[in-house]
Structure 1
Amino acid sequence: MIHRFRSRLIAVVGALMLLVVATACGGPSGGGGNGPSKDGPAKEGGTLDWLVVGEPPTLNPKGYTGALVPQYSALYDSLVQVDPKSGDPIFRQAESVTPNENKSVWTIKLREGLKFSDGTAFNAEAIKAWWDHEKVPANASPVISTLTSFKSYTVEDALTLQVDVGYPRAALYNDLAFTSLGMIPSPAVVESSGDAFGSSVETFAAAGPFVLKEWVQGDHMTLVANKDYWDEGRPYLDGITFKLSADASTNADAVVSGAADMAYQPFPDPAEQRVTDAGGQHIFLPDVQQVIVSFNVAKAPFDDVRVRRALVLATDPKDISDKAQSGLATPVTTLFPEGSSLYDPAVVQKTNDLEQAQELIDEYLQDTGKDSITGSVLSPDNQAADQVSALTQNWNRLDNVDISIDKKTVAAYVSARGAKDFDMVISNSADPGTFVEEWLNKWSTGGAANTQNYSDPELDKLLEAGRGYADQDERKKALNEIGARLMEEAAFVGLTYAQKSVVASNEVRVDAMINPSVPDPAQISIG
């Protein structure tokens, strides 16, 4: 809905690059980088109603997942962003992040005058305090293994933190952009709130473009513009209301009817075409992630590679796309999609072989004396569940296999996944961001994000060898070697390549993207 807005225009600065947008003039397409989604200058003021499919169980960054990027980005911002097209760093709360020659020591320099929404100073001590908090095992941080791997991090002056990693870590930009290392809350509020930090308006303060005004859990979250935001003239909007609504098709129809201004789409949906047919926008960038199902190898029978390989072989990714996304999602064939700078046609996922799959199942059952293969796939109660439903139909074609779906609310799904309480789980693959480090967290033995309990000494060697690569060709080679090993050991099954997006009214203007599917809340305008 379009609300009151001030008429003062803000000039758009910088060269304009093509953002992937479909309007009434054409259908969805791919390509391009950050840049305005529509012509003309951005307008200041107004509020935006944004439908989202998930709600954070807490605003503590340990609950951060891909489906919650809009809320976290609006409230926290980040020290750094990474341009989703070029991979280049975009400095945000950090004025600069500078490595030494071999990228083992980094210097983070903050902008002057940063403040948290509780009025306290956002300085180098605040970063150190948060990282110290994240290193405490009881706080269950997803970045604890990253922090404990660092040799040291020290405050040099009020605005400068020096990080001695102790080994080449080319991915530090990604750490500061996509993990809780770069989402810094007020130390005063973290300390005073204790375990309740991030659970309410009163127990939260950060330094993003918006400030939390109201949170009715299970319904909506109301944000207002942060008058002390570091980027003068932004955010353009006076406020955002995030409304929880899990059905992507219904959400798209709400944009068409004017009941909402924008809606997050976690999967391709025919409803997106209804938005563009009505004159609205479908906004996204190409994505290298897959929608995958990972096996919890701490639980039998998924600790046996024969069972995992059998289920991968019994998977028909095209059938899953046809049933769950009306054929709009691209089925996984190779590790990275064709057209990606990381694409290698030799790294292929072997699927659609029921005969070989059945042989492996029969062999396992005979060797173990078991009667059947049973288990469930943990899924949030959104369109991911449609893919899981189609997947279990694929698998249950096998004799003596009975796999079900364990469908939960997004908050309960996040909690169960974090607690490793699942047999199998659907998610997006860890985004390498063209850096090996992101996969090291996900797949290395004891990795912070390794909720599937995976352990493979050969894989660990590949991950460790590739973690410091800064050269793009070296990273491509390392990532595909790692992916080939994961596929050989059937660590996961890829279903479709991720294509998350937003649909929006034609009154909405998006100047930049946080990632391939989420607009930068500070750079959205309306009217």
Structure 2
Amino acid sequence: MLGKWSTKLALLLSGALLAAGCAAGTQGSNGGAASSSEPRSGGTLTLLNQAETQGINPTKMGVSLTATRGDGLAGFSIFGGLVLQDAAGNLQMSMAESLQTADNTTWTLKLRPGLVFTDGTPFDAAAVKSNWERHGAQGSTSFALPVVRAMSALNVVDDRTLQIVLAAPNGQWPRSLATYPINFIASPTSLEATPDAPLGAGPFVLKEWLRDDHMTLVKNPKYFDAPRPYLDEIVIRPIPDSQQKYNALVSGQGQIMHDSVDFQLASTAEAAGFQVLRTAVGGAQGFVFNEKRAPFNDVRVRKAVQLGVDLNLLNELVQGGKADLATTMAPVGTTFYDASTQYPPANRAEAQRLIDEAVAANGGPIKFSILTVTRTRSTAEGVQTLLSELKGLEVSVNAQATTQAAVVAGDYDMGITGFFLADPEPVLYDGFNSKSPRNFMGYSNPEVDAALVKGRSSGDEAERKAAYATVQRALVADMPFLPLWRVPSAMMYTSKVQGVKTIADGLVRIDEVWLTED
């Protein structure tokens, strides 16, 4: 595959493709077609999603409210959510009526009255406590371990009230609840009876699931937010390849799709007459370096890779020049943007100098593999191509259907991932704090640890901005993560689909969607 990319790179360097390329695109918002009438109940919607869910049990799921993984849509459809968070970081109560604290250490969660699971059992404070204890049980591999380990006590006050006592103050704790799968509450009774397919209290009920083919869900008549959901049935089809997914939309195999990989696809869909709703997502997609082993335990190699990857060339190679490049973690114009946190531009001469030093110390060439999921293989191969210009590097690409197990086990050198920020908390703390169980890079910097604690414990915006500026500057200096570009999150759909709204990084509020009459 390297030959194909090398030929394209040669054309880019000669100017043949750069002249024809477009400037990097910006990811704005487009509300799509305005609804011409009140929501209508009924109908079946087929949604083409970019990934399959890891499982239906919340302890097997990843980030709760996300469009970039399959867990978000399946989880919200079946379980709903205690709290919701939009792309700007604004929190909204959902199945929770309130979430309050007087000291940032003891939080009180109050549930809405009358909540019930689809098996008829009560959705009460005891059910929430039981679910959260499962995430923290001995031997658990739950994605929510950082959150449950930060709890020192869970006390049921009454049927609707749960008291959460944290081990340390965290003024931003509701963001962790919105981010992690503790936001999804399953019936404790069904968790015991059918742990691989427990029942929830969300807008839909699972009818059928054939992994990697489709998931069919039907309307939950007991959903707390009547008259929602409006649809009688939804069918979720996972199609990881962006172009195949778009072709399925065009051919009528679905009425709506989500993509967060291909920057050009939303514009193509608009030109073809589809409605498009974009979601601007903070943070960046990029690569993490495993500092627990060679060669990336050497900061010179990490910095050399960053300096050796010209983002403008990579953009042309992989995204046709349409990507919104991430030269900082926080985008310009957002609360936590700081101009002093810019990543340095590509510098091949300096990259080669650092590699030469590392080769001399190593006694031979620097060898590593780039771990990637199949849908982002082209990005990894683009980076491989750019780094092939440096002497003393031997780079391979390892594309897998899923990479989570390898990353958690530390069995990787350099891996593609993303840190997507509606707010820096909890993403940066969990990813970069040296004591976090989700710091899979082995990154450690005491100054960063202290700043991350300050950022999560403070409620003062100025203090938080200063703390996260410290964090971002250290990430540039230490280079545990190489950011590439923002995420091009977009929903594309036919004019028959109405009520399309998104939360988080572009997750569709499926309970709000409805269909016009044929």
User: TM-score, length-normalised on structure 1?
Assistant: 0.87
Alignment of 1:207-246 (within 5 A): 207-246=201-240
| 1:511, distance to aligned residue in structure 2 (A) | 4.4
Instruction: Answer whether contact 1:93 1:110 (CA < 8 A) is retained.
Output: yes
**Structure 1 letter corresponding to 2:94:** R
Contact 2:116/2:122 (<8 A) preserved: yes
**Aligned-residue offset at 1:155:** 0.5
| Structural RMSD (CA) | 2.0
Give the Å deviation of 1:283: 1.0
Equivalent residue number for residue 525 of structure 1: 514
The number of equivalent residue pairs is 485
State the shift of 1:109 in Å.
0.6
Q: Which among 84, 96, 101 is matched to residue 81 of structure 1?
A: 84
Deviations 1:237-296 (A, max 9, x none): 111111121221222233233221111112234332332123211112211120110011
Q: CA deviation at 1:500?
A: 1.5
- Give 2:330's aligned residue: 336
Contact 2:242 / 2:262 at 8 angstroms: preserved in 1?
no
In structure 1, the residue corresponding to 2:475 is in which secondary structure?
helix
State which drifts further: 175-184 or 452-461.
452-461
After TM superposition, the structure 1 = structure 2 runs for residues 30-69 of structure 1, keeping only pairs within 5 Å, are 30-31=27-28, 38-40=34-36, 41-61=38-58, 62-65=60-63, 66-68=68-70, 69=72
Query: Aligned residue for 1:319?
Result: 313
Contact map agreement 2:86 2:422 (CA 8 A) in 1: no
Secondary structure, counterpart of 1:451 in structure 2:
coil
In 2, Cα distance between equivalents of 1:283 and 1:36: 6
Using the TM superposition, name which of 462-471 and 482-491 deviates more.
Answer: 462-471
Q: C-alpha displacement at 1:29, in angstroms? A: 6.9
Q: Work out the CA distance in 2 between the residues paired with 1:415 and 1:504.
A: 33
**Which residue does 1:420 correspond to in 2?**
410
Alignment of 1:341-490 (within 5 A): 341-369=335-363, 371-382=364-375, 384-409=376-401, 412-429=402-419, 431-490=420-479
TM-fit CA distance, 1:219? 0.8
Structure-1 residue corresponding to 2:280: 286
1:446-500: per-residue Cα shift (whole Å, max 9, x none)? 3132222322222212212222122333322222211111111011101111221
Question: Is 1:90–2:92 an aligned residue pair?
Answer: yes
CA contact (8 A) 1:248 1:264 kept: no
Cα gap change, 1:368 to 1:32, in 2 (>3 Å): closer
Whole-Å Cα distance in 1 between the matches of residues 438 and 312 of structure 2?
Answer: 29
For residues 244 and 95 of structure 1, what CA distance do their matches in structure 2 show? Answer: 33
Per-residue deviation, 1:206: 1.6
Shift of residue 356, structure 1, vs aligned partner: 0.8
Q: Distance in 1 between matches of 2:146 and 2:101?
A: 21
* Letter of the structure 2 residue corresponding to residue 177 of structure 1: A
- 1:252 is aligned to 246
| Aligned partners of 2:153 and 2:165 also within 8 Å | yes
Query: Which residue type is aligned with residue 264 of structure 2?
Result: P
Sort the Cα spacing of 1:208 and 1:36 in 2 relative to 1 into closer, same or farther, 3 A: farther
Could you say if the C-alpha distance between residues 523 and 136 of structure 1 is closer, same or farther in structure 2, counting changes exceeding 3 Å? Answer: same
Q: How far is the alpha carbon of 1:48 from its aligned partner?
A: 1.0
SS at match of 1:523: coil
CA distance in 1, matches of 2:40, 2:309: 48
Match of 1:172 in 2: 173
Task: Give the whole-Å Cα distance in 2 for the aligned partners of 1:82 and 1:119.
Answer: 28
Distance in 2 (alpha carbons) for counterparts of 1:38 and 1:252: 22
The equivalent of 1:127 in structure 2 is: 128
Deviation at 1:312, TM superposition (A): 0.9
Inter-partner Cα distance in structure 2 for 1:332 and 1:524 = 32
CA-CA distance at 1:37 after TM superposition: 5.1
Identity %: 28
Q: Give the drift of 1:166.
A: 4.3
Question: Cα offset for 1:73?
Answer: 1.8
**In structure 2, what is the equivalent of residue 513 of structure 1?**
502
C-alpha distance in 2 between matches for 1:334 and 1:503? 28
The question of whether the paired residues in 1 share the 8 Å contact of 2:311 and 2:484 is answered with yes
User: Could you tell me how far 1:501 is from its partner in structure 2?
Assistant: 1.5
- Distance in 2 between residues matched to 1:296 and 1:497, nearest whole Å: 22
Is the CA contact 1:47–1:237 (under 8 Å) kept in the aligned structure 2? yes
- The AA in structure 2 aligned to 1:239 is E
Structure-2 separation of matches of 1:93 and 1:281 = 30
Cα distance in structure 2, aligned partners of 1:397 and 1:447: 36
Change (3 A) 1:387 1:403: same
Decide whether aligned partners of structure 1 residues 263 and 391 sit closer, same or farther in structure 2, where only a CA change above 3 A counts: same
Partner of 1:140: 141
- Does the 8 Å CA contact 2:32/2:275 hold for their aligned counterparts? no
The 8 Å contact of residues 237 and 526 in structure 1, kept in 2 or not, is answered as: yes
Residue pair 1:248, 1:269 contacting (<8 A) in 2 also: no
| 2:457 alignment partner, SS class | coil
CA-to-partner distance for each residue in 1:158-194, whole Å, 9 max, x for gaps?
110011224331222212211122111122222334x
Runs of 4+ that moved beyond 4 A: 28-33
- In the alignment, the residues of structure 1 paired with residue 33 and residue 86 of structure 2 have an alpha-carbon distance, to the nearest angstrom, of 16
| Secondary structure, counterpart of 1:95 in structure 2 | strand
> Using a 3 Å threshold, how does the CA distance of structure 1 residues 427 and 128 change in structure 2: closer, same or farther?
same
CA distance in 2, matches of 1:434, 1:471: 14
How far off its partner does 1:80 sit? 0.3
Q: Against the structure 1 CA distance between its residues 420 and 510, is the aligned structure 2 distance closer, same or farther, given a 3 Å change threshold?
A: farther
| In structure 2, C-alpha distance between the alignment counterparts of 1:433 and 1:294, rounded to whole Å | 20
Report deviation, 1:147.
1.9
Tell me which amino acid in the other structure corresponds to 2:394. D
Match of 1:503 in 2: 492
Matches within 5 A, 1:14-25: none
Q: Which runs of 5+ in 1 are unaligned?
A: 1-27
Contact 1:142 1:448 survives alignment (8 Å):
no
1:74, 1:146 → 2: CA distance?
23
CA contact (8 A) 2:83 2:94 kept: yes
- Give the secondary-structure state (helix, strand or coil) at the position aligned to 2:77: helix
Change (3 A) 1:181 1:57: closer
C-alpha change, 1:494 and 1:47, in structure 2 (3 Å) is same
What do residues 216-252 of structure 1 show as CA deviations (whole Å, max 9, x unaligned)?
1121111111111111111111111111212212222
- Superposition deviation, residue 435 in structure 1: 4.0
Segment drifting more, 40-49 vs 471-480: 471-480
Distance 2:69 2:338 in 1: 28
Q: Is the 8 A contact 1:291 1:428 kept in 2?
A: yes
Partners of 2:495 and 2:464 in 1: how far apart? 39
Contact map agreement 1:436 1:478 (CA 8 A) in 2: no
In structure 2, runs of 5+ residues without a counterpart are 1-24
SS state at 1:185 partner: coil
Matched with 1:183 is 184
